[in-house]
Amino acid sequence: MIDLTATPSSIFHLSHASTSTDPSVHPPPSTVEGPDPKKRKLDSTEINGVASSGSSALYTGRVLHNAHLKQVHETIKKECEQLADHCDKVKLWVNLNMPKIEDGDNFGVQIQEEVLNELHRSQEASYNLRDAARQDYLNRAKICSKILKYPHIEDYVLALQEHDEKQLYVAKQNLIDLRNMYAILMDIVHKNISKIRSPKGNNSVGLY
């Protein structure tokens, strides 16, 4: 998947940034029925002789979400969930291979604990990467609210375009980070596989 990110057909290619962002302010969805006057009377409050309704927004326009970035986030979230699930399974396997606690040389157990620590770090990193979508939506919503409030200021439009392009670039880097975590975990597990399986077997071999 990472090799394909350099091709324009990949959803992670930066060429999609210029075509996927729509900073236009669209009209709100039309309602078939008008507002219920009774409900409006209950929901509204009057301050200094001016009635204000808590159920209606101040700015009724819409800025559409970036459908392409949503697809990118879904892909990253899926990869993060797979990594977290794999870490859970390997952690369980390492824990089941731990010997009972006793006095003596526990060097092999220390290796197992180091492997577990690395698995835990990778799992926590996958959780953080999975949360990138939520953070992106919140930050994007703040820029969109500025566009709705100040549609005549072009810098907010440019800020939204730059934000989406950055998210596409960061998503590609997150994909590389996930690959690197897989490589590191595979390396440390393979190099210490004998100690993980039999920590009391040969204590002359250290952690690689």
Of 115, 132, 112, 122, nearest to 85 (Cα)? 122
Helix (H, G, I), strand (E, B) or coil at 191: helix
Helix H or strand E encompassing 52: strand 50-53
Domain ranges of the chain: 65-197
Residues 65-197, CATH architecture: Up-down Bundle (1.20)
pTM of the model: 0.74
pLDDT tens digit at each of 208 positions of the chain: 776 777 777 888 887 887 888 888 888 876 545 555 554 454 445 545 544 454 555 667 889 899 999 999 999 999 999 999 999 999 999 999 888 766 555 666 788 899 999 999 999 999 999 999 999 999 999 999 999 999 999 999 999 999 999 999 999 999 999 999 999 999 999 999 988 888 776 554 555 5
pLDDT tens column, 114-154? 999 999 999 999 999 999 999 999 999 999 999 999 999 99
